[in-house]
Amino acid sequence: MHQIVLIIDFGSQVTQLIARRVRELGVYSEIIPCTKATPESIGKMAPKGIILSGGPASVTENNAPKVSPKLFDMNIPILGICYGQQTMVQELGGKVDISDIREFGRAKLKLETSCRLFSDQWKIGSEQDVWMSHGDKVTELPKGFLVVGSSPAAPFAAIADENRMFYGVQFHPEVIHTPKGTEMISNFVTDICECDSNWTMSRFKEDAIKQIREEVGSEKVICGLSGGVDSSVTASLVFEAVGDQLTCVIVDTGTMRSGEVEEVVQLFRDNYNIPLVHRDASKLFLDKLSGVTDPEEKRKIIGYNFIEVFEKEAKTIGNAKYLAQGTLYPDVIESISFHGGPSASIKSHHNVGGLPEKMKLKLIEPLKELFKDEVRQLGRELDLPASFIERHPFPGPGLAIRIPGEITREKLDILRKADAIFINELKNRDLYQHIWQAFAVLLPVSTVGVMGDARTYECVCALRAVTSTDGMTADFYHFKMDDLADITNRIINEVEGINRVVYDTTSKPPGTIEWE
């Protein structure tokens, strides 16, 4: 087994970034919720180091989440970040109080003493940009700890007990707004924890295949294919592991893009010879969606009926015990909180939750610790064609959430055509690979136009193109105006039903990537 740095999650929105930073150093890392971080489970994993994440709670509250005090007797180096620092301090006999001055955003860290956590890039006496997000602060250190750095609102912004290899920082080294944060994490992982930098995606693939084989044994597995990169990679990984014990199911909801279903069927059934069931359920979905305008209701109808159709297909396959899903880490973090209850729920993502519980199938989610770019890397390891791996993400509810208002077959046809032109133009102009996600939206608004001397009164199409690293934050793509003008012309000339095109220049936040 490979060396591992374990991240214990207290519910921070950026915990995943810690895992990402560690893995970028060539060291495997895994995240477990604080509620599952028992000394027994940690003992089994035998991590080379532990990082305690930030979190939204306050250690001054009675029921604040904690880890077992035994964790601090296991002779494992520990780095506490923000809430992680505070809970470690409290557990080891120090004090944490609610601060009069809260620090959110950029702050200056003054380094006062040297320690192994801060290498040459962090000079003693220098001031470094760091990113803070805290209300509470450490006010008294436990025995054995030294102050290493401070900020105006956090006198113990960086602390260390070098003998026990315990370190704490009030700021977030994992975010890009702490420019030297990666070096700090690297010092912890490679110098203090003494991890070798040898974890690669090909090792991840081998380990995942072994794990899937062990778990599944001789049982049957089913996997829903959507045409997206996540489900495609999951399916081919599981296929490598258990061969034709796997059956894939593609449910055509009627809200897929142009040519999508055919492409998936061709790739998996014809190229890879993976058993594949294709069910055209478009009539069912579109009938159920008829007259529905509320975005959440649309998502729920699609999610619910998807389960119904999928369940039926699973029965005809017979006795599948496992369901393989392409859930990614960002899907998990946006849908649950660390204690398993609902966190601020922005949208109901239909591929997460619901399905396994209702179907009583055991879940296999081999990608659930990975980020999108890592999934693409894994896809390359699995020799999936580039045209699949580089596909932009596509949401489970499909075009249904790109037609605000009521969905009709006519509107879907119009949107499919506009979307295909947009994507085709991006590919022809070599822009597709620079954009994280691009698509067209059909607005329920008609405007007046003039075409060939005649008045038109047709729909508005909005184009959306964003850059992002993980879909959690995004910026609109800065097109050259000529490109936008050409794309607009093609859509208006070629798609009957659209006479005006607009471009969405909203970032996320405050917008979301999808319109619904």
Q: Who contacts 129 (Cβ-Cβ below 8 Å, separation ≥6)?
A: 106, 107, 108, 109, 177, 178, 179
Does the footprint of ligand XMP cover residue 512 (CB under 6 A)?
yes
Does the footprint of ligand XMP cover residue 368 (CB under 6 A)?
no
DSSP 104: E
Q: Who contacts 224 (Cβ-Cβ below 8 Å, separation ≥6)?
A: 231, 248, 249, 250, 251, 306, 310, 323, 325, 351
**Per-residue contact flags (x/-) with ligand XMP for residues 263 to 302, judged by CB under 6 A:** ------------------------------------x---
406 is catalytic: no
Return the sign of the alpha-carbon dihedral for residues 262, 391, 427, 463: positive
42 in Cβ contact with 30 (< 8 Å):
no
Q: Who contacts 373 (Cβ-Cβ below 8 Å, separation ≥6)?
A: 469
Cβ 137 to ligand XMP shortest distance, Å: 33
- C-beta of 160 vs 513, nearer to ligand XMP: 513
Cβ 441 to ligand XMP shortest distance, Å: 11
Choice from 158, 222, 465, 513 touching ligand XMP (CB under 6 A):
513
User: By CB under 6 A, which span of 8-16, 277-285, 392-400, 489-497 interacts with ligand XMP?
Assistant: 392-400
425 is catalytic: no
Q: How many CB atoms lie within 10 A of CB 208?
A: 21
Phi and psi torsions of 334, nearest 5°: -80, -15
314 to 333, contacts with ligand XMP by CB under 6 A?
none
Q: How many CB atoms lie within 10 A of CB 487?
A: 24
Choice from 53, 150, 437, 488 touching ligand XMP (CB under 6 A):
437
- C-beta of 90 vs 348, nearer to ligand XMP: 348
- C-beta of 168 vs 330, nearer to ligand XMP: 330
Does the footprint of ligand XMP cover residue 471 (CB under 6 A)?
yes
82 is catalytic: yes
Cβ 513 to ligand XMP shortest distance, Å: 4
Catalytic residue among 172, 350, 365, 461: 172
- C-beta of 77 vs 396, nearer to ligand XMP: 396
Does the footprint of ligand XMP cover residue 254 (CB under 6 A)?
no
CA–chain centroid gap for 44, Å, is 27
User: By CB under 6 A, which span of 80-88, 248-256, 349-357, 453-461 interacts with ligand XMP?
Assistant: 349-357
- Angle at alpha carbon of residue 455, lines to 452 and 457, rounded to 5°: 125
Does the footprint of ligand XMP cover residue 395 (CB under 6 A)?
yes
488 in Cβ contact with 501 (< 8 Å):
yes
Residue in 464, 445, 447, 456 with CA at minimum distance from that of residue 514: 464
- Strand-pair partners of 250: 225, 278
**Three-state SS for 96?**
strand
Choice from 21, 257, 350, 417 touching ligand XMP (CB under 6 A):
350
**Per-residue contact flags (x/-) with ligand XMP for residues 198 to 227, judged by CB under 6 A:** ------------------------------
User: By CB under 6 A, which span of 85-93, 113-121, 158-166, 347-355 interacts with ligand XMP?
Assistant: 347-355
Catalytic residue among 82, 115, 195, 459: 82
The 3-class SS string of 443-506 reads: EEEEEEEEECCEEEEEEEEEEEEEECCCCCCEEECCCCHHHHHHHHHHHHHHCCCEEEEEECCC
Residue in 427, 436, 388, 113 with CA at minimum distance from that of residue 263: 388
Residues shown for the chain: 516
Catalytic residue among 91, 103, 174, 381: 174
Distance CA 190, CA 21 (A): 12
Total residues in contact with ligand XMP, by rule CB under 6 A:
15
Does the footprint of ligand XMP cover residue 393 (CB under 6 A)?
yes
User: By CB under 6 A, which span of 51-59, 154-162, 456-464, 508-516 interacts with ligand XMP?
Assistant: 508-516
Does the footprint of ligand XMP cover residue 349 (CB under 6 A)?
yes
Active site (catalytic) residues: 82, 172, 174
Q: Which residues bind ligand XMP (CB under 6 A)?
A: 299, 347, 349-351, 393, 395-397, 437, 471, 508, 512-514
